[in-house]
Structure 1
Amino acid sequence: MAALFLGLNANAARMDMVDVSNNNGYMSTSEYTSMRNEFGVKAVTVKISEGGTYKDPYAASNIVNVQAAGLYINGYHFARYATKAQAIAEADFAGQTAKAAGLPVGAVLAIDVEAEEQNNQSKATNDANNKAFMQEIEKFGYRTDIYTSGSWANNKMTVKGKTGWIASYPYVVSGKNWYSTNHAWQWSSTAKFRISYGGFDVSQLNSNYYTADQKSTVKPTDKDAVKDNNKEANKNTSKPSTAAKWVKETKTCTLKTAVKLRTGASTSSSVIATLPAGTTVKTDQAIIQGGYRWARQPRSHGYGYLATGPATNSLEYVKSGASHTYYTVVSGDSWWVIAQRNGLSMTTLASQNGKTIYTTIYSGQRLVVR
């Protein structure tokens, strides 16, 4: 391991790698050059694909512009698989899409494993599916790795030492080298760069895996800007404000869109389930913290927490009295059959029920169709 990656700066986590997707829009060579020269970025990992059909429209331009800026290029695929067959099919799709977009052989094509489909599987099943995906990707000449959250690593799936790219946003980004035995640690999703718009995911590299053992000598010229990003990351963590207080608020609401039910009042908390539109939710307390308004739902064992909207809007996503039309699934039905019958696309039908077209449906299940 090169000395470049040993240890953590005493005052801040490094901005060694940035990952980008269609959410960041078009990124120019000048923007990547600024990231390299001013902030010390050494590698960029671009979204290539998702599931079995989605191709990121900016993948090709990102690959060309990253390389033109002299940065090491990698890619990632957002996994939607729940079975080994689906994992292999997605790997073939991702590999072919990466080739077409110009991702060079030898680059890393990581799997982003954090979706509902994997949350519903056992650790053993996820391990088998991830292994099948990675073996298939290697046939295209790419190296591979697993990206997931710190709460999922070695709980929902195995991420061995000296592998893995782990996302975990600490309360204070200093003084500790998180996930130092893994290849990379993503420590913020809100980093700012001088000539680029919006927030970016940034990671510290703890090995040279994502730069193919190249010993980069890039160092940031704008050290104050790097420190500012660390301060901003600290400010935007899920640590509760000391002024935030839970208040009693007994409500019965109907979800007008799918909402994630979490183990805590934080967007970094694990997802218990995704509640589909039309679900009736009874809550007993509410709080405003971390930029969101949260409601607490009593459950048979403890509580679940839902972000009901931004702190400035009390009921952005939850609306009392919303009405819906439901369809009860019968034997022989499929997403396609039900969608066609109700004038919807399969994606829309699945999304408004908090699921994907890969999710299994069963007889007797109620789906929102209006």
Structure 2
Amino acid sequence: MFPQKVDAARRLGIDVSSYQRSDYQFFQNMKANGTKFVIVKLGGSGGGEGEHYQNPKASQQLAMAQKVGLEVGSYFWGEFGGSVAQAKKMAKYAVSDAQKFGLKKGSAIALDYELGASQNKEENTKAIHEFMSYIKKQGYKPLLYSGSYYLKTNVNHSKVNKSFKNSLWIASYATMAPVNGPNYNYFPSLDGIAIWQFSSAWYGVDGNVELLKNSLKLGKVKDDVKVTKTKKSKATSYTVKAGDSWYSIAQKFGMDQNQLAKLNGGTVNSELQPGDKLKLTGTIKNDAKPTKVKTKIVKVKSLGKDRKNWKVRLIDGSGKYSNHYVNQGSRWITSKTKETKKGKAYLIGKNLYVLAKYVKIE
């Protein structure tokens, strides 16, 4: 791991998109590693995002992050260069997505501006100002995300900071290797930074640290959310075919598999049969309200100096060894134990357990 100086008073957080999981256990595990907040991608527009992309997991990710007791915010990819008109249109998409996915007003919506800038720095800045102004007028907290070098090259960040004080969320990495926390010796030199994304490999995801206390103004998620498709389709139902799974059907229509299953009265572990008819739209309770569950934190023990590069193999719900492993020294939240032929085990993942002999309770 890269050496670091960690300030325990500053909150650490992650940002997620459709590439990350959306289940409760994932966010529990990240909480065990020190995560205090989660910034969820709502969608995007322009460039590779097309006219309007929506993250099919956004609603579920927001709900589950809040359910485990983490605070939440959001971001939206906007590739509009220096066009004020395009910036306003994309800001409207961002607010629409936030409302659709249940993110209440007062929450943060960050503009992800990292590609497509025009050669005119002032025009880029005006367009960004238009986006952030619309976000603010709609009752949300505007932020601006970009890489340190990209922002300095293409945006008058001093003007942005003057209009939207302490609104910058800056990415600047000391290394691309995995890290345990922020290395403040590599802090990006810019005024108005509220959040610093210090790594793309903090426990497998983007790691962030909030530099100014409560500057993020994290929001809340509605408990009743309308489940809809993010891919264009007139279909309101789907008949299961041989070989289908919750995941494949969700992918087909641009939905989160967990919400699709819940909409149809089941879970992703519920068995599907050819001929089953599934609803594709409706309203569900997304269980966003934080729940108090008795949990423990388990830390994977060291296996010894001569085995420092080894990993601990997990078992599945049937007690058989799985193809999943965890690192020595990693920490996990658990709320369930299981007695197996191999001994007592703690649930740390979706139907994945670590044997008690390899961990200690913190």
| Alignment TM-score, normalising by the size of structure 2 | 0.51
What letter corresponds to residue 165 of structure 1 in structure 2?
A: W
Structure 1 unaligned blocks of 5 or more: 1-7, 193-198, 214-220, 226-370
Distance 1:69 1:210 in 2: 19
Select 1:164's aligned residue among 165, 168, 177. 168
Residue by residue over 1:145-169, the C-alpha shift from the partner in whole angstroms, topping out at 9 and shown as x without a partner, is: 1000010223211334633010011
Distance 2:174 2:218 in 1: 28
Residue by residue over 1:273-325, the C-alpha shift from the partner in whole angstroms, topping out at 9 and shown as x without a partner, is: xxxxxxxxxxxxxxxxxxxxxxxxxxxxxxxxxxxxxxxxxxxxxxxxxxxxx
Residue by residue over 1:219-251, the C-alpha shift from the partner in whole angstroms, topping out at 9 and shown as x without a partner, is: xx78999xxxxxxxxxxxxxxxxxxxxxxxxxx
Distance 1:224 1:152 in 2: 39
- The answer on whether the counterparts of 1:168 and 1:186 sit within 8 Å (CA) in structure 2 is yes
Residue by residue over 1:327-348, the C-alpha shift from the partner in whole angstroms, topping out at 9 and shown as x without a partner, is: xxxxxxxxxxxxxxxxxxxxxx
1:188 is the counterpart of 2:199: yes
1:69-148 alignment, distance < 5 Å: 69-82=68-81, 83-115=83-115, 117-118=116-117, 120-148=118-146
Given the superposition, is the C-alpha separation of residues 134 and 174 from structure 1 closer, same or farther in structure 2, using an over 3 Å criterion?
A: closer
Greater relative CO (CA pairs within 8 A, separation 6+): 2
1:1-370 alignment, distance < 5 Å: 10=5, 16-24=12-20, 26-36=21-31, 38-51=32-45, 52-82=51-81, 83-115=83-115, 117-118=116-117, 120-160=118-158, 162-171=166-175, 174-176=183-185, 178-179=187-188, 181=191, 182-192=193-203, 199-207=204-212, 208-212=214-218
Cα deviation, residue 177, structure 1: 6.2
SS in 1 for 2:90: helix
Higher strand share: 2
Distance 1:55 1:75 in 2: 12
- The answer on whether the counterparts of 1:49 and 1:78 sit within 8 Å (CA) in structure 2 is yes
- Consecutive aligned runs of 4 or more in structure 1 exceeding 6 Å deviation: 12-15, 221-225
What letter corresponds to residue 93 of structure 1 in structure 2?
A: Y
SS in 1 for 2:170: strand
- The answer on whether the counterparts of 1:12 and 1:174 sit within 8 Å (CA) in structure 2 is no
Distance 1:80 1:22 in 2: 19
- The answer on whether the counterparts of 2:173 and 2:186 sit within 8 Å (CA) in structure 1 is no
SS in 1 for 2:76: strand
Residue by residue over 1:70-99, the C-alpha shift from the partner in whole angstroms, topping out at 9 and shown as x without a partner, is: 111111000111310000000001101110
SS in 2 for 1:60: helix
Distance 1:205 1:223 in 2: 26
Given the superposition, is the C-alpha separation of residues 29 and 211 from structure 1 closer, same or farther in structure 2, using an over 3 Å criterion?
A: farther
Structure 2 unaligned blocks of 5 or more: 46-50, 220-296, 302-362
- The answer on whether the counterparts of 2:72 and 2:218 sit within 8 Å (CA) in structure 1 is no
Distance 1:122 1:179 in 2: 23
Cα deviation, residue 63, structure 1: 1.0
Distance 1:112 1:133 in 2: 11
Distance 1:42 1:222 in 2: 18
Task: Indicate the percent of aligned positions where both proteins have the same amino acid.
Answer: 27
TM-align CA RMSD: 3.0
Cα deviation, residue 209, structure 1: 1.5
Cα deviation, residue 30, structure 1: 2.0
What letter corresponds to residue 167 of structure 2 in structure 1?
A: T
What letter corresponds to residue 190 of structure 1 in structure 2?
A: A
SS in 2 for 1:42: strand
Distance 1:65 1:209 in 2: 23
Given the superposition, is the C-alpha separation of residues 90 and 61 from structure 1 closer, same or farther in structure 2, using an over 3 Å criterion?
A: same
Paired residues in the alignment total 203
